[in-house]
Structure 1
Amino acid sequence: MTNFDEFAPYGHPRQQAARFVVAGVDYEVYFTQITDENPWDSAVEFPEGFRLPEYAKHFDVTFDTKANRLCRTPFRRVEELPAGAGTRVLKCVESIIIDHYTTFNVGLYTFAPADLKLSSVYCRFVMMKKHKGSTIEVGLEPEGRANVLRTPKFYE
């Protein structure tokens, strides 16, 4: 099970972070709770009439390397990863999201991958059979790369 560090520098919004290492590179996954008090923190620009969860929790997900955070170069790709490392990174992110869902009973995740290639990989992972009951909506703004993942908790 993933260990989540919880922090909120000013009390709001609620945030958790998880860390992992692949091929000697440190990665961080951040979850920011989106509420009526901080809707601007969501990576997704919701179209008019979009149904947000009434009672379920909503978290925005971002992940990047620790080096990118420290150097203030967000989402810069890691060069010269060994073969298969990219797939291992995404499987780790997937596992962390599943553990976060299990731990915090989240109904809606939003994320905006840095590019459309990464977005298609996310979609493939979500549509796997083990995610039965989850749905994904793709192509939202900004730039048609934002996604919304609804979990079974969304529909409860």
Structure 2
Amino acid sequence: MTYFDECAEYGLPRHQVARFTVAGVNYEVSFTQITHENPYDCAALFPEGFTFPLYGHHYDVTFDTIANRINKTPFKRAEELPTGAGCRVLKCVERIITEHYTHFNVGLYTFAPADHKLLNIYCRLITKKKHKGLTIEVGLEPNGRANVLRTPKFWGLA
């Protein structure tokens, strides 16, 4: 079970962080709740008429190394990771998002991968058969990198 540190416990927007370690590198996955009061915190720019969740919450997701946050070098790739470590990192991120979805009643996630290679990996993970009920919309602005992941709670199915 993943522990989600509630960083804005008594205010809005809600912000949770989960941490994990792979190959000696410490990572964190951050979830920022997007509401009408803080739409500027979202990675995606939504087209006119975009439908937001009626039944669940909307969170923006980022993940990075803790060292990058401390050193103010966002999304710089970790160097000299052993073979297979990148896959383990993404599996940890996938597990954490799944647990967050279950715990916080999330209908919509938005994220903007640092590059298109990472975007392709995300899309492969999400479209696996074990993720029935999830849909992904890719290519939103800015620069066609932002994405929307709708969960079954978005549709009122879960």
Identify the TM-score tier after normalising by the shorter chain. over 0.9
In 2, the alpha carbon distance for the partners of 1:103 and 1:9 equals 15
Q: Does 1:58 align with 2:50?
A: no
The one-letter code of the counterpart of 2:152 is: P
Question: How many corresponding residue pairs?
Answer: 156
Match of 1:32 in 2: 32
What SS does the corresponding residue of 1:154 show, helix, strand or coil?
coil
In 1, the alpha carbon distance for the partners of 2:128 and 2:20 equals 23
The one-letter code of the counterpart of 1:30 is: S
TM-score of the pair, normalised by structure 1: 0.97
Contact 2:30 2:61 in 1 (8 A): yes
Matches within 5 A, 1:7-156: 7-8=7-8, 11-156=11-156
Structure 2, unmatched stretches of 5+, are none
What SS does the corresponding residue of 1:74 show, helix, strand or coil?
coil
Q: In the TM superposition, what is the alpha-carbon distance from 1:48 to its structure 2 partner?
A: 1.0
Structure 1, unmatched stretches of 5+, are none
CA RMSD of aligned residues (A): 1.1
- State the identity %: 72
Q: In the TM superposition, what is the alpha-carbon distance from 1:9 to its structure 2 partner?
A: 7.7
In 1, the alpha carbon distance for the partners of 2:57 and 2:30 equals 15
The one-letter code of the counterpart of 2:110 is: T
Q: Spell out structure 1 runs of 4+ moving beyond 6 A.
A: none
Q: In the TM superposition, what is the alpha-carbon distance from 1:64 to its structure 2 partner?
A: 0.2
